[in-house]
Structure 1
Amino acid sequence: MSEFQPTPTAGVDYPRTWSQFEDWFVTEEECARYLERLRWPEGFVCPSCATKRDPYRSSRGRLICRTCRHPGTVTSGTIFDKTRTPLKVWLAAAWHLTSQKSGMSALGLQRVLGFGSYQTAWTILHRFRRAMVRPGRERLKGIVEVDQSYLAIRERRDTPVGKGGKRRTTKAVVVIAVEILEPKGFGRIRLQQIEEESTASVEPFVRAVVEPGSVLRTDGAAIYRALQDDYQHERTVIKSVMPDAIPAHVPLPGVHRVASLLKRWLLGTHQGAVKPAHLDHYLDEFVFRFNRRTSHSRGLIFYRLLEQAVQTDPITYRQIARKSPREG
């Protein structure tokens, strides 16, 4: 493979097909070299002293800074940190996760890669979800619709063998922001779980994800009034507020379309079984996929995910799970 270019090229910077993937990543050394070029596209930079200089390369893939002697590996300080799972398996998981338009559940990944443990597949997926939010990503702008939606999510509960699995259904509130393109179509989106439909919950979300001065389209709820000085606020009273008003999907088509797709994705790919404590990371995955829906190359999405993965801080299974999770 040649040196990476600013604009990634299929077959040069990332594999086009699964067959090509298998040709590229035969050994752990080849996988490590690929991640190294993604992490340091302009050459190795010491994580400790920030010196840009070729490192000493010792056994077992260690990279030792020639200036401060700091030892490390290409996976140190990333989501792959201290993993005992082979890098080829990690890259294969990233390929399957991004090559399927609807993604994969942990059970599906366990089956396709032959993991002996459901926990391993579940942890890998959640680590990749942490990498799906690009640091410093641009805020939405132009015309942006904002509204809330309720999600009914089912939590699997442990039961004795033979008794059947009982599920508790929880209603989660999700605030949705959607860029509206002219003359038609939708741009990027942002999602976040909130505790309740209130100014205290919605206002910080809007300010964090929508560029000031943008046109903000909402329903007639009072929770948006605090935003009217910094945004061009277009309010429409809908039926959920007043019985004689127009239906909600007419003035806010983007939000309702995204809410429908989100519910279908959670129900289809994950059977609606998601712990509320982990919902935000599933929302991050949905946003990552939706905002790249027009990509003609699944391989490029694979490349972007790994590019972000080597810049994402490590997280352990215990930090992710807290308790014993059993959702897909």
Structure 2
Amino acid sequence: MAKNQVQFQKGISIHQFMKIYGAEVQCQKRLFEMRWPTGYRCPNCSHDKYCQLQSRALFQCNRCHHQASLISGTLFAHSKLSLTVWFLAIYLITQEKNGISALELSRQLGVSYNTAWRVKQKLMQAMKERDDETPLEGYVQIDDAYWGGVKRGIRGRGAKGKRPFVAAVSMNEEGHPIRMCFTAVNGFKKAELTRWAKAHLRPKSLVISDGLACFRGIEDAKSFHYAIVTGGGADCVELPYFKWVNTMISNVKNAIHGTYHAINNKYLPRYLAEFCFKFNRRFDLEKMLEQLIYSSIQTAPMPQRLLRLAEVRW
């Protein structure tokens, strides 16, 4: 039997990573090249002439005298951690298929749990913001899903404490999954699904769903919708129309249970985004490392108060 080329990628070994990003000066050089590929530009006036203040590690514009550091305005801003620690965290998160918990991250990085938790949450936020910029298109399988809730008593949609989320997977012409988008929502109502579709679907996409009434809201977002009434029960997950979306839901839930055991419902959007980000870039593990570094450059600073708010609407 032929090996799955995606699963058997070599990725980046820890030895390769340390050779490229093992020193602070190496990380600084790469971050500068990624942030300003054509040379430094003042973030205030875009002037390209500057001087470096060695004593404070700042760039000063020769025109407006605005001062900026290498990490100012990025996700790394206001952090006391070195870039080597940040880059190692990015490496561990992107190269681990099922995710890495904040506790394990703290052990690997040699930092406190609280510090590792903040690093993890910030990087997952960068993942979420980047994936939200690329809507699904073409043929899309969609389903309603839930996370958390009580372990006994009422199960399914009526259970207390469950966090609803939309699970969607786009397919290519051969029927293979290309991208997925898992998004926490405030409930499965028509207006809520319309807002979701406008943010996460390209117009004229063909969306296949079960008979849940709220999915008709997708039509109001200028996408085509075809409902297949499944009747519920275990047999409905075996239908080929929903094969990949149900597979992805199962895989993500199993990975979250196995890696994190339990997560706070208000942080669910970020954890879902982590799996989507890595799934959507699974064809090139080596490139994924730099993609998350670049995403961190494009993400605004996230102080503690914003991390704790957690909820980010589309």
Same fold (TM over 0.5): yes
The corresponding residue for 1:239 is 231
3-state SS in 2 of match to 1:247: helix
Q: Give 1:160's aligned residue.
A: none
Q: Is the 8 A contact 2:204 2:224 kept in 1?
A: yes
The residue number in structure 2 matching 1:290 is 279
Change beyond 3 A, Cα 1:264–1:76: same
Larger mean Cα displacement after TM superposition, 209-218 or 56-65:
56-65
The two structures have a TM-score, normalised by structure 2, of 0.84
**Paired position in structure 1 for 2:140:** 144
Residues 77 and 223 from structure 1, CA distance in 2 versus in 1: closer, same or farther, beyond 3 angstroms? same
Range with bigger deviation, 86-95 or 221-230: 221-230
What are the superposed Cα offsets for residues 81-139 of structure 1, whole Å, 9 maximum, x if unpaired? 11111111111111111121222100001111221x21000000111111113277332
Structure 2 residue aligned with 1:175 = 166
Matches within 5 A, 1:66-77: 66-77=62-73
Q: Give, in whole Å, the separation in 1 of the partners of 2:15 and 2:214.
A: 52
CA distance in structure 1 between the aligned counterparts of 2:47 and 2:280, rounded to whole angstroms = 35
Bigger drift between 224-233 and 192-201 goes to 224-233
Alignment of 1:147-296 (within 5 A): 147-152=143-148, 170-228=161-219, 230-240=222-232, 247-250=236-239, 251-271=241-261, 273-295=262-284
- Count of residues in Structure 1 that have an aligned counterpart in Structure 2: 288
How large is the RMSD of aligned CA atoms in angstroms? 2.3
CA distance in structure 1 between the aligned counterparts of 2:91 and 2:100, rounded to whole angstroms: 11
Structure 1: distance between partners of 2:142 and 2:80: 43
Map of 1:50 onto structure 2:
46
State the AA in 2 paired with 1:107: L
Residues 288, 91 of structure 1: CA spacing in aligned structure 2 closer, same or farther, 3 A cutoff?
A: same
Residue 314 (structure 1) aligned to one of 284, 287, 301: 301
Asked if the contact 2:191/2:217 (under 8 Å) is kept, the reply is no
Q: Distance in 1 between matches of 2:188 and 2:138?
A: 24
CA distance in 2, matches of 1:203, 1:172: 19
- Deviation digits for residues 210-265 of structure 1, max 9, x if unmatched? 1111111111222122433622221101113xx8x972441311221111011011
Determine the structure 1 residue equivalent to 2:115: 120
Q: CA deviation at 1:32?
A: 1.6
Structure 2 residues not aligned, in runs of 5+: 1-10, 151-159
1:216 and 1:231 in contact (8 A); partners too: yes
The structure with more helix, counted as a fraction of residues = 2
| Alpha-carbon distance change, 226 to 106 in structure 1, aligned in 2, over 3 angstroms | closer
- The 1:53–1:108 alpha-carbon spacing in structure 2 relative to 1, beyond 3 Å, is same
Residue aligning to 1:18: 14
Q: CA deviation at 1:57?
A: 4.2
C-alpha deviation, 1:47, in angstroms: 1.1
Q: 1:21 to 1:55 in 2, by over 3 A?
A: farther
CA deviation after TM superposition for structure 1 residue 286, in Å: 1.1
Cα-to-partner distance string for 1:36-71 (whole Å, 9 max, x where unaligned) = 111111211111112233543432421111211111
TM-score under structure 1 length normalisation: 0.81
Unpaired runs of 5+ residues, structure 1, are 1-14, 155-168, 324-328
User: Mean Cα displacement is larger for which, 298-307 or 118-127?
Assistant: 298-307
